[in-house]
Amino acid sequence: QSALTQPASVSGSPGQSITISCTGTSSDVGGYNYVSWYQQHPGKAPKLMIYEVSNRPSGVPDRFSGSKSGNTASLTISGLQAEDEADYYCSSYTSSSTQVFGGGTKLTVL
Amino acid sequence: QVQLVQSGAEVKKPGASVKVSCKASGYTFTSYDINWVRQATGQGLEWMGWMNPNSGNTGYAQKFQGRVTMTRNTSISTAYMELSSLRSEDTAVYYCARGMGIPWSGYPYWGQGTLVTVSS
């Protein structure tokens, strides 16, 4: 199972919006609504930000939103804040009854 | 509150095995799947497999088939991940993560991570 494809890096200024894409296939992202997104700060465990494509766990700001179109899922962060600077990973269920992560995207807040 | 507390760092020689534990508290251990994810230094997350603590059923990523075993001891609410035939590429932080109750939905709870170093 190949890793999902994410851009290596994205950047934005405080207050702006950014979108991180996550491209898979019809056997993973496109075939199921089990896409999740994780935020990871250096030296910390990942934190779940979005589950089942577009749902936010309690405590996650509504600045974070998720969507999916075909084989590509997206995470959008609006009103960027300094503390949003982190690595972001997407993940999807697959037709092999396994999970696969994306390669990760480093978000820089300028 | 939900907590997953993992065992401490390990240093192993190539060819050896390592067994990492993940002690759960704050919820009914048998009600939620436990997944294992690893991360090499400076690299991305890699899913290794899952275990249903109630039934003991497991599922592993193809890459680890034959080398990984996930087990549990329900009497002490602890999950284990054992990786054998270690090589230098297995040097990584290993995390356990608890599911949401709906399989594959996402992992809202994570252990603190266990660094496994494989070196001769």
Residues B20 and B93: beta-carbon distance below 8 Å: no
- CA-closest candidate to residue B73, choices B19, B14, B13: B19
Contact A48 B113 (CB under 8 A): no
Nearest CA in chain A to B59: A98
Q: For strand A9-12 and strand A105-109, is the pairing parallel, antiparallel, or unpaired?
A: parallel
Inter-chain CB proximity B106 and A103 less than 8 Å = no
Q: What pLDDT sits at residue B24? A: 98
Q: Looking at the predicted structure, is the pLDDT value of residue A1 above 90? A: no
**Average pLDDT over all residues of chain A:** 96
Specify the DSSP element, H or E, that contains B79: strand B78-83
Q: What is the pLDDT of residue B101?
A: 84
* CB-CB under 8 Å, A104 with B45: yes
pLDDT for residue B21: 98
Q: If you average pLDDT over residues A41-49, what whole number do you get?
A: 97
Nearest neighbour of A100 by CB, restricted to B35, B47, B111: B47
pLDDT < 70 positions in chain B? none
Segment B103-118, tens digit of pLDDT: 889 999 999 999 999 9
The predicted pLDDT at position A2 comes to 80
* Partner residue opposite B45 with nearest CB, options A46, A51, A93: A46
Decide if B112 touches A, using CB distance below 8 A: yes
CB contacts of A9 in chain B (<8 Å) are none
Find where tokens 């993992």 sit. B6
Q: Counting Cβ atoms within 10 Å, is residue B62 exposed (0-12), middle (13-18) or buried (19+)?
A: exposed
Kindly state whether A108 is in contact with chain B, defined as any CB-CB distance less than 8 angstroms. no
State the pLDDT confidence band at A16, using cuts at 50, 70 and 90.
Answer: very high
Least confident of A59-68, A99-108, B71-80, B101-110: B101-110
What three-state secondary structure class fits A11? Answer: strand
How many Å apart are CA A57 and CA A46, to the nearest integer? 14
B32 touches chain A (CB under 8 A): no
Q: What is the pLDDT of residues B85-102, one digit of tens each?
A: 999 999 999 999 999 888
Which residue among B62, B95, B104 sits closest to A34, beta carbon to beta carbon? B104
